[in-house]
Each structure stands twice: as structure tokens, then as C-alpha cells.
Amino acid sequence: MLTARLALCLWIVSATIVALKPSMRFKPHNSCKSNEHHISKRRLDSKTIFESAAAKTLSTAATLSIMASFIFQPPLPAMASVAPLADVGLREFLVKDGRELLRLSLPSSMTKDAPINLESDPGRQCQEAIELVRLRLEQVGFSGKKPVWLASLKEVNEANRIANTNALLEKVPKKDLPQATKQLEALKLSIDSLRDAVRNEDIKGTIETQSKAAQELYDLRLLSMKPGLPYSIPSDVSSPGVPILKGRATVDITIKRPAGSKPFTLDDGSKSDTLPLTLVIDGYRAPVTAGNFVDLVNRKFFDGTEINSVDDLFINAGKPDGAEGFVDPRTKEVRRIPLELFYKKDVTPVWHYSSDDDMRATEGFANPFQAVGALGMIHDPEDNDSASSQFFFLKWDQGLVAPGRNTLDGSSANFGYVVKNEGALSQINKRDTIAKAVVVSGANLLQS
């Protein structure tokens, strides 16, 4: 009887997955002219997608109800969720801020055998302790919860212990030691302020000082990073003329509205006719994609281009007038780059293959599409290696893009996050213009 019930359940699950799969694939529209006919026939518009998804969700609920009558309750441990929080955050906490994700994905102790060697990485240990303070208070709650504050104080004390040793300076090059020493002293003061705020159960002061300490520690850890990448790039990917970013770069983008338009409200509450965005472009986790983007910024390729389209999830940009992408003046052809993914448990990116192609759809990623302002490349849905210049800003909504197991992760390359004024991205409209894009730091890390 049990075997028959399980067989029926498996059949129901298979049928449900087949029915749901098309509607679950939220992807940015590819603006390429050659794909317009394909898109008009094969891609549903946003309204149709959501209506279809809603209807199929009801169908799924009915299916699960049927399954519940056949399966023993509660489910066996082996049948638990396939999305453990360790895959989409830190310990039991979900990370959904681009700055936090970048700090935690810095490959400061990556080896050829392991993505993280925590025992030999005091900077990472200290970073986790400081990040956990905010994550715990935000996701467990703080009002009247003494045990939560005590747990946070324990994390602060651990960070303080590490900061008061020489461990954070051991891997800093000699030429950078004076700067690193000053940064370490500033970090110690911030940790002291954080400890006072936690002891007083001051949530506002805790959040402010935690953010400051976390960023100061990250900046210090960057000084300890060895030059280059902690892995090699195969020759079929790093062919001559393909830009590679060997580290992280910072890019400032200014969005401008047509004359007479309503001003932007920035994250600090001020009004402005322009929207200044700061992007961190991650060459550690997407060296080819990041290199391509930084190279285009250096060429002023995006300056003066209009926002191509805006919907509930995506702000698409980077399509020039009269072309599908960036035409390389040396070859007179559109420069294409491959799909580039970095799984959280890997020590090198995977090129060309989506997570579906590789049968790794249940695995997490180092830089997930799990924060407002995540940056992704647009490619033809039928050709993984067709990306050129078109990219998107993600207006992440946890209700629409599930953390850790959405189909953006595994089908589009994430190459960084907006870290300033990301909260104002929802105000961008089609026909707004990228007035200017400039590389603020990290241009020296670009190799072509």
C-alpha cells in the first residue's frame, strides 16, 4: 500500500512540475532585434505570466492537498525543504542585502580545494560575527527579547577578540600596512560603539554602528587579498580581446529624467533631478561578465543611452540604437560573452551551462539574485553565450523571486550589486537616461 501511495505521489509531483515550469521562469526581456519574433511567440508578457502563475499555484495547492492524504505526516527528514538557509544566507539567517552579500562572498580564503577555509581566515570569522548581529535582530526580533540581545553581544565580543589581535594584519602587504593599521584602529572603535549599543539594547544605534563596522572590516579585508584571481580561466573563455576583471571595481552611474519630470527621492530622503547609483562589480565571482561591463563603462558605451524597458522585476538597459550589443571596432562584430555562474560550493566559475543544463538547479550561488539592485546580464533565452551589452537591475521582491531557488539564479550571470540608492531603483522609468557611467576604482584590475 505504501509503495502504491508513493508511486502515485511521484506521478503527481512530476505532473505538477511540468505544468509549473514555464510560468516559474521570470527572465528579463531580451531587447535584441533578431529575437523580437521569437520573443513575441515564446515569451508571455508580465500580466500573462503572473495570471498563469497564480492559476497554476492554485492547481499546485490542490495537488499538495491530494498528496497530503497519501503521505505519512509529518514528513520524514529526507523529504524536508531543498532550500536550506545555509545555502541562501549565513547560518540560519537569510541574507538579502547587496552589501552584506558582497562582504560574505569575498573569497579571502578560497583554495583550489575549498571555497572557504574558515579556520585560517580570521577576517572572515570576524565578518560573520558582525553580520550576525544585524541578521539576528532583523529576523528574530529585538523588542523585549533579552536572549536575542545576549546572543548578539556574544557575537560582538567575538569580533572584538579577533580585532584586538594582529590576525587581521598578517596577510596585508607591507606597502599597505600603514593604511591597514589605521583602518584596524577605526574598526576597533566602531566595535566598541557597537558593543555599547547592544548592551543598551539600542536598536537604532546598533544598526548604525553595525553597518559601519561591517564595512570597515570589509575594506580592511580587501587589503589582504592577493593580486589576481584565486583560480585560472580556461583558454576558450579568456581568448585575446576578452576583458577580464581580476578583482572588484566600483562604478558610479547617473540616471537622468526628461525635462519637467518628477524628481527622484533618494535613499536619504532628499529630492534630486538625477539618481546617483554606486555599483560594485564583482570580478572575483564573474570575471568575464564584470570585465565586459567595466570595459564598456571605460569606453563610455552606456553614456546617453535610454533605459530600454521597466516592469515589476527588471530595469533593462544597455541596448544601443541600431545594434544588438557592443560592436567591437577591431572585429566589426558584436562582442559576445558566455554565461558565467559561480556556485557557492565551487572554487571556480562555470561557463556556458545553466544550472538546468548541469542538473544543479537545487544548488546555491555565491552572489545570488536575492537583493534589490542585483545586476544581471541579458542573453537570448535560446543561447546561453549571446550576452553582449544588455543588462538589468533587479527590483527584487521576495514574494515574486524566491531566495535561493529562483530561476534567475542559474540562468543569468550575476556580476554585482547596487550599493547606493538601490531603494530608489523602483522610481526609474522607461526613457530615463544613463547620463554618465564612470569607473571610480578598480580600473587597474581590468585585463584585456
Report DSSP letters for 236-288, one per residue: TTS-TT--EE-SEEEEEEEEEPPTTPPPEE-TTS-EESEEEEEEEEETTT-HH
C-alpha cell read off for 383: 543561447
Architecture of domain 244-447: Beta Barrel (2.40)
Query: Considering the entire predicted model, what is its pTM?
Result: 0.82
Q: Widest CA span of the chain, in angstroms?
A: 73
Closest CA to 317 of 341, 336, 297: 297
Most confident of 69-73, 236-240, 339-343, 360-364: 339-343
Helix (H) or strand (E) holding 364, with range, is: none
Q: What is the pLDDT of residue 13?
A: 44
The mean pLDDT value for 28-44 works out to 42
pLDDT, the chain, mean:
84
Residue 74: asked if its preceding bond is cis (omega within 30°), the reply is yes
CB 373 within 8 A of CB 425: yes
Q: For domain 107-223, give the fold.
A: Four Helix Bundle (Hemerythrin (Met), subunit A) (1.20.120)
Give 262-294 pLDDT, tens digit per residue: 999 999 999 999 999 999 999 999 999 999 999
- Rounded CA-CA distance 366/389 in Å is 23
Give 141-171 pLDDT, tens digit per residue: 888 789 999 999 999 999 999 999 989 999 9
pLDDT band at 233 (very low <50, low <70, confident <90, very high): very high
Strand ranges in 355-427 using DSSP code E only, listed in sequence order: 374-377, 391-394, 414-420
32, amino acid identity: C
Could you count the other beta carbons within 10 Å of the beta carbon of residue 112?
9
Closest CA to 339 of 364, 318, 315, 358: 358
Is the pLDDT at 37 greater than 90? The verdict is: no
Is the pLDDT at 4 greater than 70? The verdict is: no
- Rounded CA-CA distance 320/227 in Å is 34
- Rounded CA-CA distance 308/28 in Å is 11
% of the chain with per-residue pLDDT over 90: 71
- Rounded CA-CA distance 146/164 in Å is 27
User: What's phi and psi for 219, nearest 5 deg?
Assistant: -60, -35
CB 233 within 8 A of CB 287: yes
pLDDT band at 22 (very low <50, low <70, confident <90, very high): very low
The mean pLDDT value for 189-212 works out to 97
Instruction: Report the DSSP beta bridge partners of residue 317.
Output: 391
Give 301-334 pLDDT, tens digit per residue: 999 999 999 999 999 999 998 888 999 999 999 9
Burial 74-108 (b: 16+ CB within 10 A, else e): eeeeeeeeeeebebbbbeebebbbbbbbbbbbbbb
